[in-house]
Amino acid sequence: MNFFKRAWLNLTAKKGRSILLILVTSAIMLFVLAGLLIRNAADTATNNAKQSVGATVTLSANREAAFKKMRSSTSTSKTSRPKLTTSPVKLSDAAKIAKLNNVASCTATVSTSANATGFDAISTSGSSDSNGGGMKGMGGSTTSSGDIAISGVTSTSATSAFENSSSKITKGRGITTADEGTNNVVIESELAKEDSLKVGDSIKLKATTGTKKTYTLKVVGIYKASSSTSTQQGPGATDPANSVYTSYTFANTVKGAKYKNTADSVTFNVSDPAKVSSVKTAGKALINTSKYSLTTDDSSYQTVKASMANVKSFADKIVWLVAIAGTIILALIVILMIRERRYEIGVLLSLGEARWKIVAQFFTEMVMVLIVSIAIAGAGGKFVGNQLGQQLVSQQTTTATTTSSTSTQQGPGGSGAPGSSGTGSVSAQKQAELDINVSVMDLVELGGFGLAIMFLSIMLASGGILRLQPKKVLID
Amino acid sequence: MLKANDIGYWYDRQENSLFEHVNLEFKSGHSYAIVGQSGSGKTTFLSLLAGLDKPRAGQIELNGEPINQLGLTNYRKSHVAIVFQSYNLFTYMSPLNNLLTAMAVTSSSHKGDKKFAMDMLQTLGITDEQMTKNVQKLSGGQQQRVAIARTMVCDAKLVVADEPTGNLDEENTQYVIEQFQKIAHEQHKCVIIVTHEPDVAAACDYAYRLAKHEFTLEA
Ligand SMILES: Nc1ncnc2c1ncn2[C@@H]1O[C@H](COP(=O)(O)OP(=O)(O)O)[C@@H](O)[C@H]1O
Ligand SMILES: [Mg+2]
């Protein structure tokens, strides 16, 4: 193994050339490493997204079946007005589903409305006047909605509006499971300002249906809805500032006695987004599917997954492009080096050295250079990887969010409740950060790439050694 | 020990052959000079004897065995040592490492014997200090001494040299001539030197002149 010693002596004697080789190789390794790091980080981000990005299954009334029923009843009894009857979700059903594997938590939503009594609801110009207070005098339809939209929830923090930060508690606290059975309420900051309401104050709401009773509620918190939420409101809904959160039990009370222990919908958070469809299948077996339906929403996960797949494929391209370019560059350098060292090669040949051992000497020299370069690249790789990764992610997320915001607008609850805003976009942005770190495995992988690059470039350049006539050492 | 059997060589066409039907014999314990005008083909002939190229016609035999049957690489490794006009040492090594490398590559029976290599350098007037610094820091004469030492640490019974004194001054030339004669007469090797210097040729036991495509023994 004399070629090891020759390689070492050569590298240490020709320091200038060795340093140049190390610099070039380090640059190549740095880019390969950056690509590998981004690719691995994208994998990790996708896995993390599985755990942290919410995927949900929602139990609600089967509207499709209800519509069908309505149409068939219309055809038989033409006298009566068509009526859409949907059954509220029974909490006992929900409890069964909540016990399934992979269901992390569940939150019930009950939407209703009531009229502000003793304080003013925010009125937006025009349309909103036809509702609420204005309607009373006209003695109109019994199904008219009040001017305050009530979202009965299990806890505010579990609603999508709070989860994706489009709504935030600014004073006091949100609704929690501890508020079940109480008349505690969380109101919007605009409404609080308009009526000078503070945490601890009381407001009165009059039910528009059922008993038409008046309830006194205690303000326990004030939230601020970002303006984007308001764009989600359907026509005929009240101003978003008139949306209040209470415990779902209060909302049921307002709706009437028969709504006790029910909800408009119950949303289950699934711990592993990949298990969403199996939860749905298992859940369907537990409910009456003609009355209720289970819908899934794993769009946030899909968004992150898609954006990370883009980042990954780009990183793959970087790795291959740099690897190919690096091989060519190094092959050219080695070709030049072999030309410059043809006398040395000639002497070795004249001493009877096997050609493959001369090739092996060059390969060993390059591997020694590679080892130093990998150490250098390892030190600088985190920095370059971070820069490149940030750039890539910000591009990818922008494109991904534009697509998601158009596709995932329907939310549970349906009405003008603030809980119905899109889910995908904001949380995707939150998750799509690449955590770039250089691990030993990364360096091993880089070493594999480096060895392959060195091997290929030496193979490409070794023609010069294999063809060199030993006689050239005598006659030039 | 070495015989040229009816060999001929040409580069492009046979009509322009440098020499043809050459029959020469070289014996152990003797020194031979090959002289002739520049461009006559001396170096080419030497490259055939050294196993660096194959003759176009005829064959070279080592102790009765054709050298291409031995394999040229194997022949160079075990049987022949070469001294060049421009020394051709490993420029990135010390004299000592040059010798150790040559010993490791060839089939020397002294592989790895540092003391043996140092003694040999010493014999050729290379000081301990010079042995371990880069070989390029030595003068031309010193470098050629290292090159001669290199042939001595290898076990090759045949030593060929192409203008070994071409780059040397009078004093070093004289020294190198003496060394080659010692190699032939004291170590009983076969020494073949291509030269255009009369002094060098005169010191050898035999001198062949290559002229008009033929070798003739000079008096
Ligand atoms: N590779 C080659 N191709 C063609 N002709 C060559 C080549 N090498 C040497 N020659 C020619 O062969 C002749 C002999 O060269 P050489 O053996 O070096 O002569 P000498 O050593 O006697 O000066 C010269 O005329 C030279 O130009
Ligand atoms: Mg010549």
CA distance A54 to A42: 18
Rg (CA), chain B: 17
Q: Which CATH architecture has domain B27-52+72-217?
A: 3-Layer(aba) Sandwich (3.40)
Lookup: tokens for A70: 């309505």
302-331 in chain A: CB under 8 A from chain B: none
Amino acid present at B51: G
Q: Residue A83: what pLDDT?
A: 64
CA distance A219 to A213: 19
Q: Residue A101: what pLDDT?
A: 85
Lookup: tokens for A177: 């499971």
Residue of A468, A471, A474, A475 to test ligand 1 pocket, by largest number of atoms within 8 Å of CB: A475
DSSP label at residue A239: P
- Average pLDDT, stretch A186-196? 92
pLDDT band per the 50, 70, 90 thresholds, residue A124: low
Angle, in degrees to the nearest 10, between helices B95-105 and A2-13: 150
Lookup: tokens for A82: 């068509």
Tens digit of pLDDT for each residue in A249-269? 999 998 888 888 888 889 888
pLDDT band per the 50, 70, 90 thresholds, residue A138: very low
- CB count, 10 Å around CB of A332? 13
- Three-state DSSP at A14 gives coil
Domain range summary for chain A, segments of one domain joined by +: 3-52+304-475, 55-297
Residue minimizing CA distance to atom 11 of ligand 1: B39
A2 touches chain B (CB under 8 A): yes
Q: Residue A432: what pLDDT?
A: 56
CA distance B163 to B140: 13
CA distance B110 to A299: 76
Beta pairing class for A103-117 and A202-207:
antiparallel
CA distance A163 to A427: 8
- Average pLDDT, stretch A243-254? 92
Instruction: Please count the helices (runs of H) and the strands (runs of E) in chain B.
Output: 9, 10
Ranges assigned E (strand) in A27-175: 55-61, 89-90, 103-117, 148-153, 167-172
Q: What are phi and psi of B77, to 5 degrees?
A: -65, -40
Q: What are phi and psi of A304, to 5 degrees?
A: -65, -40
Range with the lowest mean pLDDT among A173-182, A280-289, A378-387, B44-53? A378-387
Helix or strand holding residue A354 (H, E):
none
Q: Higher pLDDT residue, A3 or A388?
A: A3
Question: Is the pLDDT confidence value at B23 over 90?
Answer: yes
Q: Higher pLDDT residue, A470 or A383?
A: A470
Q: Which of A424, A427, A430, A431 minimizes the C-alpha distance to A402? A: A424
Residue minimizing CA distance to atom 2 of ligand 1: B11
CA angle A406, A409, A410 (to 5 degrees): 150
CA of residue A26 to ligand 1 center, whole Å: 45
CA distance A318 to A31: 8
Q: Residue A312: what pLDDT?
A: 83
Tens digit of pLDDT for each residue in A386-410? 787 777 777 666 655 554 443 333 3
Residue B40: nearest ligand to its CA?
1
Tens digit of pLDDT for each residue in B36-86? 999 999 999 999 999 999 999 999 999 999 999 999 999 999 999 999 999
Residue A411 near residue A60, CB atoms below 8 Å: no
Which residue matches tokens 């981004």? A38
Tens digit of pLDDT for each residue in A402-455? 544 433 333 333 333 333 333 334 444 444 566 777 888 888 999 999 999 999
Q: Specify the length of chain B in residues.
A: 219
Residue A238 near residue A206, CB atoms below 8 Å: no
DSSP B170-219: HHHHHHHHHHHHHHHHTS--EEEEE-S-HHHHHHSSEEEEEETTEEEE--
- CB count, 10 Å around CB of B125? 13
Ranges assigned E (strand) in A31-102: 55-61, 89-90
**Cα within 13 Å of Cα(A314), Cβ side:** 18
State the complex-level ipTM. Answer: 0.94
Q: Is there an atom of ligand 1 within 6 Å of A257 CB?
A: no
User: Which residues of chain B neighbour A14 with C-beta distances below 8 Å?
Assistant: 92
Q: Higher pLDDT residue, A474 or A218?
A: A218
Residue A29 near residue A250, CB atoms below 8 Å: no
Residue B36 near residue B27, CB atoms below 8 Å: no
Q: Residue A95: what pLDDT?
A: 87
CA distance A342 to A465: 8
CA distance A336 to chain B (A): 18
CB contact set of A256 (below 8 Å; sequence gap of 6+): A209, A210, A211
CB contacts < 8 Å between A and B, how many?
72
Q: Which of A278, A462, A256 minimizes the C-alpha distance to A363? A: A462
A4 touches chain B (CB under 8 A): no
Q: Average model confidence (pLDDT) for chain A?
A: 80
CA of residue B18 to ligand 1 center, whole Å: 8
Ranges assigned E (strand) in B52-170: 57-62, 65-66, 80-83, 158-162
Question: Is the pLDDT confidence value at A227 over 70?
Answer: no
Contact assignment for A350 to B76 by CB distance below 8 Å? yes
pLDDT band per the 50, 70, 90 thresholds, residue A77: low
Q: Residue A428: what pLDDT?
A: 42
CA distance A332 to A325: 11
Q: Which of A250, A263, A252, A261 minimizes the C-alpha distance to A216? A: A250
Which residue matches tokens 């010493």? B122
Beta pairing class for A184-188 and A262-263:
unpaired
Lookup: tokens for A118: 């003793």
Beta pairing class for A265-270 and A214-225:
unpaired
Residue A121 near residue A238, CB atoms below 8 Å: yes
Residue A38 near residue A385, CB atoms below 8 Å: yes
Beta pairing class for A103-117 and A89-90:
unpaired
Beta pairing class for A103-117 and A148-153:
antiparallel
CA distance A95 to A374: 56
CB contact set of B10 (below 8 Å; sequence gap of 6+): B16, B17, B18, B56
Which site among A6, A347, A368 would you substitute to test the B interface, given the most B Cβ atoms closer than 10 Å to its Cβ? A347
Residue B38: nearest ligand to its CA?
1
Question: Is the pLDDT confidence value at B169 over 80?
Answer: yes
Question: Is the pLDDT confidence value at A216 over 50?
Answer: yes
Q: Residue A419: what pLDDT?
A: 36
Q: How far is CA B207 from the centre of its chain?
A: 15
Q: Residue A67: what pLDDT?
A: 78
Question: Is the pLDDT confidence value at A7 over 90?
Answer: yes
Of A14, A352, A474, the CB nearest to B47: A474
CA distance A176 to A320: 52
The overall pTM is greater than 0.95: no
CB contact set of A11 (below 8 Å; sequence gap of 6+): A18, A365, A368, A369
Q: Is there an atom of ligand 1 within 6 Å of B95 CB?
A: no
Q: Higher pLDDT residue, A63 or B156?
A: B156
B90 touches chain A (CB under 8 A): yes
Beta pairing class for B19-26 and A184-188:
unpaired
Lookup: tokens for B19: 């020499």
Residue A89 near residue A59, CB atoms below 8 Å: yes
Q: Residue A230: what pLDDT?
A: 46
Q: Residue A50: what pLDDT?
A: 67
CA angle B203, B53, B164 (to 5 degrees): 25
Q: Which of A123, A199, A177, A183 minimizes the C-alpha distance to A150? A: A183
